[in-house]
Amino acid sequence: MIREEGCVFCEIADKKKPADIVFEDDKVLAILSNAPTSKGQIVILCKEHYVNLFDMPLDLAQHMLAVIKKIAPGVVKAMGTDSYILGMNNGPATRNHVDHAHMHIVPRHMDDDLPKWPDGKYAEGESELIKEKIIKSL
Ligand SMILES: [Zn+2]
């Protein structure tokens, strides 16, 4: 089992630190966030230590998404809604709190006061340049 010394999610995966577990299998844990953006927010973390999606094995990432697909309907139902945001921070510019791969199920309600995903825009011709730059990097 891959572990990182001092990682809070590794400690939770090893049951050395308490967490409100709502689902568990041999590869992942789903726990209540202790700092929820909205009540019922779930953190799905892999039991092995990977920093983020950049270094996670593909089969583990696929499994994590399959677990989210399985549990998210129950999470939102329990919270009295039918909507959620799925989020994952990848890389230091995201200002992630824990560098151990995890995703968030954030329940949303029609009357909540969370901000809408902010809209940006491109200058004239900028989107074509950025598209080409990304395609060359793939
Ligand atoms: Zn860890």
What pLDDT, on the 0 to 100 scale, is given for residue 92?
Answer: 93
Transcribe the chain into DSSP letters.
Answer: ----TT-HHHHHHTTSS---EEEE-SSEEEEE-SS-SSTT-EEEEESS---STTTS-HHHHHHHHHHHHHHHHHHHHHTT-SEEEEE---SGGG--S--S-EEEEEEE-TT--PPPPPP--PPTTHHHHHHHHHHHH-
pLDDT per residue of the chain (138 residues) written in tens, 0 to 9: 899 999 999 999 999 999 999 999 999 999 999 999 999 999 999 999 999 999 999 999 999 999 999 999 999 999 999 999 999 999 999 998 899 999 999 999 999 999 888 899 999 999 999 999 999 999
Give the domain ranges of the chain.
Answer: 8-137
CATH architecture observed for domain 8-137: 2-Layer Sandwich (3.30)
- 102: annotated active-site residue: yes
What pLDDT, on the 0 to 100 scale, is given for residue 30?
Answer: 98
Q: Which of 63, 97, 100, 102 is catalytic?
A: 102
How many Å lie between the centroid of ligand 1 and the Cα of residue 102? Answer: 10
Enter the pTM of the model: 0.93
How many Å lie between the centroid of ligand 1 and the Cα of residue 34? Answer: 17
